[in-house]
Structure 1
Amino acid sequence: MAILQTLLSWFNSRRIEEIDQYTHHGEEIQKLCFNHLMDRAKHTIWGETYGYGSMNSHIQYKSRVPLQCYEDIKPYVERIIKGEENVLWSGKTRWFAKSSGTTQSKSKFIPITADSLEECHYRAAKDIQSIYFRSNPQNNVLGGKTLTLGGSHKVSSLNNNSSVGDLSAVMIENLPFWTDLYRTPAREVTLTEAFDKKVAAIIEHSLDEDVTAFAGVPSWYLVLFHKILETTGANDLNEIWPNLELFVHGGISFSPYKEQYKKLIPSSNMHYLETYNASEGFFAIQDVLSRDDMLLMLDLGIFYEFIPMDQFNGTNSDTITLGDVEKDKNYAIVISTNGGLWRYIIGDTIKFTSTHPYRIKVTGRTSHFMNAFGEEIIIENALRALEIACRVTEADIKEFTAAPIYFTEDKQGSHQWAIEFNKQPKSLPLFKETLDKSLQEVNSDYEAKRFKNTTLNAPELLIIKNNSFFRWCKQKGKVGGQNKIPRLSNDRNFIEELILLEKQP
């Protein structure tokens, strides 16, 4: 163990030196990344089509290669799934991450190349370790095991040599055997496809382990942890795993869940580290535990472009590179990756909190926001307003979604908030009033529309029964870490399905 700790300490210190270069050499690092991507892909079908062999600047790149969404690359992905090589990235790609999204396709199949696994996803996992070890040098994470609530995978029906699953499953399936020594439960349990069976198996196999850390999506871990407490009769997780010290979380905002985790793990030794990753790539890590933003990772095989959201026009937008971004401005992210995604709009929006180094916050989605009345509510606004309303009324939210109520002949438009509470507000009218006022405070467009009910009436509140959101996910086959509940919508499709489910016994 001492030899391992020495090797890890050496590796971590070397990597931290490289990460520290982001502060003063961010643009140069991105330029090297761009050149590497062009060189690796110049002999692919895509690279030859767009002349990657002679590409040496971002100006050339954006003049030759159009911006892409999933529907644009889907025909190429289907060719790769069928076994064709050197299409979007050099060599053969046999793994694909299945991702639910907001595109016209029911599911997206994101290519996971050997290079994207090693140079992006796995390297980022090591970077998390390096960053956490620097922040907390007295840690004992490796003294125990990391609890893994992974996804599942299955062989694609298009080609028996192509496998598809959510990203966590793809990563677990390709990890070297020795990593099993540091994870629980066993690989076959983690990859159990049925979520309820997976939870039962994890309880059976992991309660007696010394779990020091866990990593994944906060909402799904809550389901597991509440089941564990129900099964064991324990008051909190520290009674089961006294050495818990780290939760590496991502996928959704942690804000609505923070207080619940403090109750589940009432320990001053517990740390929470945020990450920003997706099937398309690993983008950012919280490098300072006392901050609430994340360091944009610049050398994981991803070249970044950005679209100012006040100029966003889908694939007809213009882009800028890292050196031209401004603090506190909302941007859509465009990525080119060692997974073979080229000028790909991933649909997330971010703002920069710092440019030396480049730190970011995720602010929402290009498509997941409410703008039915020109109010432009993004997820960051919603989370802030809900946090204030909960604090004022001593409430605790489990899940939520919001959608517009459109104009009728005799009624102004408004928003409808469907909320499932862990703890009901002491006053529902006060909760609704605080939510409304807080949204006006954080969003001037909403404030203008609400002024004297000019365009919008006060929001309506719909109380959702316990576990109805989870029932919806299960009914849709969307249970697992890569699936997310729609938070903000410009239509009423999801909320109407939820209302219909409420009426069922």
Structure 2
Amino acid sequence: MKKRIHQIDLFRKYPHEVQEELFQNLIHTAKATEWGRKYGYADINSIQEFQERVPISAYEQLYPYIERTLKGERNLLWPSKVEWFAKSSGTTNARSKFIPVTPESLEDCHYKGGKDLLSIYVNLYPESKLFKGKGLSIGGSHRPSEFNPNISCGDVSAVIMQNLPIWAEAMRTPPLKVALMDKWEEKIEKMVEVTVPENVTSLSGVPTWTYVLLKRILEVTGKNNILEVWPNLELFAHGAVAFGPYRQLFRELIPSDKMNYLEIYSASEGFFGIQDQRDTEDEMLLMLDYGVYYEFIPAGQFNEEQPKALTLDQVELGKNYALVISTNAGLWRYKLGDTVRFTSLSPYRIKISGRTKHFINAFGEEVIVENAEVAVTQACKETGAIIYNFTAAPVYMESGKRGGHEWLIEFEKEPDSLERFTQVLDNTLREINSDYDAKREKDIALQAPIVHAVPHGTFIGWLRKKGKLGGQHKVPRLSNTREYLEEIMALV
């Protein structure tokens, strides 16, 4: 682990050289693939030539190659044999995406990320006793592809677990036969049964689903908090959604100043960031030697067909960028859909600021997910509230009425006043977003937000109805249409 920290320090110190070398390796490896021949990878000598020749692609542009790979064809996007696909529907797509997981991406990206998480953690907390117990992770499930029985598809967590080396499998709980169950409610009950007797020292997963499991453990055991079940618990490695709104929720479940939290940035497409400092909420080191070459689309160009993407040496602090990746899984100049903001350029650290398709801009207010999460966290802090989940959408202008935003919030602990919660939410948005503030000035374009407290189980009910319980599925925080909000409201 100390050796790996030295390697991480090297890419902190020489980020551009590491990315340049990685880029050359990707291009060289893929030059004889069908994609590589199409775009002349054999004689690409610079990143500039790469950007001029190879278009930026959404999933839809790569899908014809992915579909053929699913059916068993080889050497299309990447030369290695592909036997696993991460099935991802994100938060909104009804149609699943199938992301190739090559041996290289599994070993040099996903597994490397997991090992680096442990290396960074024990480097930050050398007094850790993490390895005296087991790590609990909530996985998804996988099954043979409908295209080819020799190829398996599933949540990326399931793909990773199924391929773990024996030493890693021995360090985790629950066993595979439980972790990979596909019926969520049955899985939760079985996980409670088999994990409670274990000495669990770490948790990893999506905060929303981890909370569901921990709450069920307390119901079954009759304990007051999780430390009465697992007294040696010391780490929760979390990702997929910002942790700010959930921090107080987990403090109540795990009431200890010795409990540590680390943010990670992983997705079906790869593992991208790890929090490498103590007490820096949501800020992560961009991992530069995982077989992923990064480019960044500036805000304002997100929806252009062929925007001008910047390289790492061209980014600026505090600005929003959409991530574009080229990877050792054969994703070439692929628009990931996430937006990030740089908090440091030496070394390169990022915060996830949202999704390119998740925002509210019905009236020019340009509210992004990060704005919403900061405002909700502040409103909870000032009113004593604790939330489980939320979503928001516009209220459109009609018959001379002003527009606005409508919020659905499922509270674990109600605010002392919903009216005051709404006021703090609104005021915080005005403080951190000048466009929103301008539209709210004297209610010129936007009226005050409308906030509904929805019953417990509302969001899980919506996910259940859409067949998205467990795994990495999550509720869209913001939408520029009312589709999701009205679907959820219909269940109330």
- TM-score bucket of the superposed structures, by smaller chain: over 0.9
CA distance in 2, matches of 1:92, 1:17: 32
Contact 1:400-1:419 at 8 Å conserved across structures: yes
Please give the residue correspondences for 1:392-431 in structure 2 after superposition, counting only pairs within 5 Å. Answer: 392-431=382-421
2:464 corresponding residue in structure 1: 474
CA distance in 1, matches of 2:262, 2:197: 25
Contact 2:225-2:255 at 8 Å conserved across structures: yes
2:324 corresponding residue in structure 1: 334
CA distance in 2, matches of 1:178, 1:297: 24
Deviation at 1:103, TM superposition (A): 7.5
Equivalent of 1:273 in 248, 252, 262: 262
Matched residue type, 1:310? G
2:26 corresponding residue in structure 1: 37
CA distance in 1, matches of 2:100, 2:214: 32
2:184 corresponding residue in structure 1: 195
1:9 corresponding residue in structure 2: none
Please give the residue correspondences for 1:205-224 in structure 2 after superposition, counting only pairs within 5 Å. Answer: 205-224=194-213
- Choose 105-114 or 344-353, whichever is displaced more: 105-114
Deviation at 1:311, TM superposition (A): 3.2
Contact 1:66-1:315 at 8 Å conserved across structures: no
2:138 corresponding residue in structure 1: 149
Please give the residue correspondences for 1:52-451 in structure 2 after superposition, counting only pairs within 5 Å. Answer: 52-101=41-90, 106-292=95-281, 293-451=283-441
Alpha-carbon RMSD across the aligned residues, in angstroms, is 1.1
CA shift in 2, pair 1:367/1:107, >3 Å: same
Contact 1:100-1:482 at 8 Å conserved across structures: no
CA distance in 1, matches of 2:446, 2:64: 42
- Which digits, 9 at most, give the CA deviation of each residue in 1:354-373, with x for residues without a partner? 11100010111111011111
Deviation at 1:484, TM superposition (A): 1.2
CA distance in 2, matches of 1:342, 1:179: 31
Equivalent of 1:26 in 15, 19, 29: 15
SS in 2 for 1:311: coil
Contact 1:110-1:279 at 8 Å conserved across structures: yes
Deviation at 1:313, TM superposition (A): 3.2
Contact 1:389-1:434 at 8 Å conserved across structures: yes
1:461 corresponding residue in structure 2: 451
Matched residue type, 2:136? L
Deviation at 1:105, TM superposition (A): 6.2
Contact 2:91-2:476 at 8 Å conserved across structures: no
- Which digits, 9 at most, give the CA deviation of each residue in 1:178-204, with x for residues without a partner? 322211111111001011111111111
Q: Percent identity?
A: 51
CA shift in 2, pair 1:103/1:230, >3 Å: closer
SS in 2 for 1:142: helix
- Choose 405-414 or 25-34, whichever is displaced more: 405-414
Contact 1:217-1:252 at 8 Å conserved across structures: yes
Matched residue type, 2:54? V
Contact 1:274-1:294 at 8 Å conserved across structures: yes
CA distance in 2, matches of 1:122, 1:359: 21
SS in 1 for 2:77: coil
Contact 1:304-1:335 at 8 Å conserved across structures: yes
SS in 2 for 1:310: coil
CA distance in 2, matches of 1:305, 1:478: 31
Matched residue type, 2:334? Y
CA distance in 1, matches of 2:460, 2:410: 10
SS in 1 for 2:19: helix
Matched residue type, 1:474? R
Contact 1:102-1:367 at 8 Å conserved across structures: no
CA shift in 2, pair 1:350/1:241, >3 Å: same
Contact 1:305-1:322 at 8 Å conserved across structures: yes
Contact 1:71-1:105 at 8 Å conserved across structures: no
Q: TM-score, normalised by structure 1?
A: 0.96
Deviating 4+ runs (over 2 angstroms): 101-105, 177-180, 310-315
SS in 1 for 2:218: helix
Deviation at 1:217, TM superposition (A): 0.6
CA distance in 1, matches of 2:14, 2:279: 24
SS in 2 for 1:110: strand
Contact 2:77-2:331 at 8 Å conserved across structures: yes
CA distance in 1, matches of 2:357, 2:412: 28
CA distance in 2, matches of 1:81, 1:448: 50
Deviation at 1:104, TM superposition (A): 6.4
Matched residue type, 2:163? N
Contact 1:70-1:103 at 8 Å conserved across structures: no
Deviation at 1:22, TM superposition (A): 2.3
CA distance in 1, matches of 2:301, 2:73: 37
Matched residue type, 1:112? V
CA distance in 2, matches of 1:312, 1:178: 43
Q: How many residues align?
A: 491
CA shift in 2, pair 1:344/1:283, >3 Å: same
Deviation at 1:102, TM superposition (A): 6.5
CA distance in 1, matches of 2:454, 2:171: 40
Unaligned 5+ runs, structure 2: none
